[in-house]
């Protein structure tokens, strides 16, 4: 009888040991699941600096000296953060028949990786302040601090961060030229071809910097620097890449930016992402400041006016967008 009791005790202790080991392993697995990637801190001061540097060149209209000088600055700056920088020269026909000399600027991170995402913005500025309240200004080029330069400033700060801490995925940053050279407002009823906008994006989509270029998804930044910006879920983004929209908006909300990333549908915008989706079939979304209550009825208040200058830029908004994208980059597998 004593021997039987001893055997039972040994068996009992054996199962307790297994149970403890399993509990320890489960704790390890739970701990590993909860372990999060360290995400860099987006520096809004640096991003603001890059926005201001662009604006300081003057309006970055294609076929102007300001455009050329800014292109040199952007490309040389990106070369500080990656050795893989490509200047894609092209010619495009404007709505008025003028030949535009364009330069798309492409910075590649982790070129050896097939698992890639694409981030983009346009760096040129509008040749016409055709929505300015003063009609005398309608043929005056704009600084485009928010409409163009803000997205570029955010992306260059992301490039700086990726140079400091290498992400686990491949990232391509593309700065498009000749996006904003569409017909002026008072001519748009005469020029009905929408394809005179986003010329740099159209060119790249037909001639990517890498043959048979593939990316899991793309993110376009447009007008991401004004105070109290609101980013609803833009229409074409939801049509072509709703999963990407939800992923980014969830990140934004999780890190406390729900006042910016709104859980509501926005209007359909014929922006660079539209052509990327249509031509090269990369599911691409647009983070864009939409405001149906503004004077222009669509975008932020100073869109295509002379007041789209450096005074419109808010470092807090730059931080919101940049930090959200850093979480996207470093948590993507």
> What CATH number does residue 229 fall under?
3.40.630.10
* Domain contains 134: yes
* Domain contains 300: yes
* Domain contains 66: yes
* Local structure of 218: helix, strand or coil: strand
Task: Look at residue 187 in the predicted model and tell me its pLDDT.
Answer: 82
Rounded distance between C-alpha atoms, residue 291 and residue 287, angstroms: 13
* Domain contains 221: yes
CB 289 within 8 A of CB 218: no
User: Is the backbone of residue 70 left (phi > 0), alpha (psi -120 to 50) or beta?
Assistant: alpha
* Domain contains 4: no
pLDDT category at 275 given cuts 50, 70, 90 is very high
Rounded distance between C-alpha atoms, residue 265 and residue 20, angstroms: 51
Task: Look at residue 190 in the predicted model and tell me its pLDDT.
Answer: 76
What is the domain count for the chain?
Answer: 1
Residue with the bigger pLDDT between 329 and 17: it is 329
Residue 124 has pLDDT above 60, yes or no: yes
Rounded distance between C-alpha atoms, residue 126 and residue 183, angstroms: 10
Proportion of the chain above pLDDT 70, given as a percent? 89
* Local structure of 30: helix, strand or coil: helix
Rounded distance between C-alpha atoms, residue 251 and residue 229, angstroms: 17
Residue with the bigger pLDDT between 16 and 50: it is 50
pLDDT category at 266 given cuts 50, 70, 90 is very high
CB 117 within 8 A of CB 329: yes
For 234, the token pair is: 């833009």
CA-to-CA separations, 127 to 61, 65, 85, 170, in angstroms, rounded: 6, 13, 27, 35
> By residue range, what is the domain housing residue 65?
40-331
Task: Look at residue 193 in the predicted model and tell me its pLDDT.
Answer: 76
Proportion of the chain above pLDDT 90, given as a percent? 86
* Domain contains 32: no
* Domain contains 20: no
Rounded distance between C-alpha atoms, residue 155 and residue 174, angstroms: 9
* Local structure of 215: helix, strand or coil: coil
Rounded distance between C-alpha atoms, residue 115 and residue 221, angstroms: 21
* Domain contains 26: no
């Amino acid at each position: 009888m004593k021997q039987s009791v001893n055997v039972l005790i040994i068996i009992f202790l054996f199962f307790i040991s297994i149970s403890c080991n399993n509990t320890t392993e489960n704790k390890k697995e739970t701990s590993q699941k909860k372990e999060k990637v360290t995400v860099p801190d987006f520096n809004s001061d640096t991003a603001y600096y890059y926005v201001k540097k662009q604006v300081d060149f003057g309006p970055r209209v294609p076929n102007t000296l300001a455009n050329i000088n800014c292109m040199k600055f952007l490309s040389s700056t990106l070369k500080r953060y990656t050795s893989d920088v490509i200047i894609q020269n092209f010619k495009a026909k404007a709505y008025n028949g003028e030949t535009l000399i364009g330069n798309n600027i492409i910075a590649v991170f982790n070129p050896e990786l097939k698992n890639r995402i694409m981030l983009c913005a346009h760096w040129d500025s509008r040749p016409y302040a055709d929505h300015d309240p003063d009609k005398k200004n309608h043929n005056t080029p704009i600084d485009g601090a928010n409409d163009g330069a803000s997205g570029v400033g955010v992306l260059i700060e992301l490039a700086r961060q990726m140079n400091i801490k290498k992400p686990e995925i491949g990232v391509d940053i593309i700065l498009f030229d000749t996006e904003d050279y569409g017909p002026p407002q008072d001519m748009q009823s005469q020029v009905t071809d929408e394809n005179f906008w986003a010329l740099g994006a159209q060119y790249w989509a037909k001639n990517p910097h890498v043959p048979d270029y593939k990316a899991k998804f793309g993110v376009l930044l447009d007008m991401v620097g004004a105070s109290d910006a609101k980013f609803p879920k833009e229409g074409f983004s939801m049509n072509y890449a709703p999963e990407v929209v939800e992923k980014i908006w969830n990140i934004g909300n999780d890190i406390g930016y729900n006042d910016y990333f709104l859980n509501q549908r926005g209007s359909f915008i014929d922006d660079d992402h539209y052509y990327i989706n249509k031509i090269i079939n990369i599911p691409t979304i647009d983070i864009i400041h939409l405001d149906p209550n503004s004077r222009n009825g669509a975008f932020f208040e100073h869109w295509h006016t002379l007041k789209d200058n450096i005074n419109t830029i808010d470092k807090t908004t730059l931080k919101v967008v940049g930090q959200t994208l850093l979480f996207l980059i470093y948590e993507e597998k």
